[in-house]
Amino acid sequence: MLTVTVALGERSYPIHIGNELTARSDLIIAHLAQPRVAVVTNPVVGELYLDRLSGALEKAGVAVVPIILPDGESHKTWQTLNLVFDRLLEQRCERKTTLIALGGGVIGDITGFAAAVYLRGVPFIQVPTTLLAQVDSSVGGKTGINHPMGKNMIGAFYQPRLVLADTDTLQSLPDRELAAGLAEVIKYGLIRDVDFLSWLEANMDKLVARDAQALAYAVRRSCEVKAQIVSEDERETDVRALLNLGHTFGHAIEAGLGFGTWLHGEAVAAGMVCASRLSERVCGLEASQSKRIASLVAAARLPTTPPKIEADRWLDLMGRDKKVAGGSIRFVLLEAIGRALLQRDIAPDDVLAAIRG
């Protein structure tokens, strides 16, 4: 087991990375305020891992309240959030009852948001079971739900007490879900770590083939980069915004097509290619580096071309993005691989040209 720490003073927490961790009740019990938890999951993940996690906790004397939510991004809504509150209230869960998110990014975001507002705040723990959740959404305290007009527009910054990333769960992922997680892994190399990007180029075939050692290293290095950035800028006032490379385009794709049509990582992958082309036009990114990015995205079995959305619709959706400031869209772009920056006041014609390729 490897451990990465998110350094936030008295709210610091560990990210444990390793195999068979969903059965390690000792790692969870160390962070409980009382021997009672509510485990939030969906039917797909629950069938695979709920008994393992719950059984280990119950054997150690912890009472478990299971909460099963519908599966998929399209269910990341107020209605689903209320299902969590209904169950917590029915079971008379208290302020010391810890919520445990067992699943991917949707479950993690909903559970974290529920924990942030139920009884004005209860503890929660992340047990991510997808690659995307292990390397990105479970770390850093971003929680929330979608609105029909935009992704993750309603939520809160609320840090977990612990992240438990069991890399065994990655072996059960559908190929499409695994690839979606690789998009966020690639992002870390692009914004801050050229050596990691080179490692990804050399090892992408191993990652796609689910080589356990390669996946463990990719999760660890991704978490190290994100933990460092979150420690520097927890609430995204500055450097943390760089983690959104490709996301302005990607969130527009998700909202424009309907949430769940493209997976988040698929939309971000095409968004990063668009961002690299925009970087060529306005930041001087070399065309060879932009092609290098597209090649790596393709090697991860991810889309390099965005879907067809009307030009006005693209601009309208991006204009609703959370990173808009003073009415101006802020894009995360690249001066070079490993050197990201925020850029605003970009001409719409340049944005649309980057989308068209």
Active site residues: 120, 142, 184, 226, 236, 240, 244, 247, 251, 264
Q: Judge contact between 93 and 36, C-beta under 8 A.
A: yes
Radius of gyration over every alpha carbon of the chain, rounded to an integer in angstroms? 20
CA angle 309, 266, 170 (to 5 degrees): 160
Rounded Cα distance between 164 and 128, Å, is: 7
Nearest to 250 by CA among 179, 341, 180, 325: 180
Find the DSSP H helices in 49-174. Answer: 51-59, 78-90, 105-117, 131-132
Residue 347, classified by CB atoms within 10 Å of its CB into exposed (0-12), middle (13-18) or buried (19+), is exposed
Contacts of residue 174, Cβ cutoff 8 Å, sequence gap at least 6: none
Q: Residue 159 CA to chain centroid, in angstroms?
A: 14
What stretch of H or E contains 25?
helix 25-29
Collapsing DSSP to helix, strand or coil, 211 comes out as coil
Tell me the two tokens of residue 156.
């809160």
Neighbours of 10 (CB within 10 A): 4
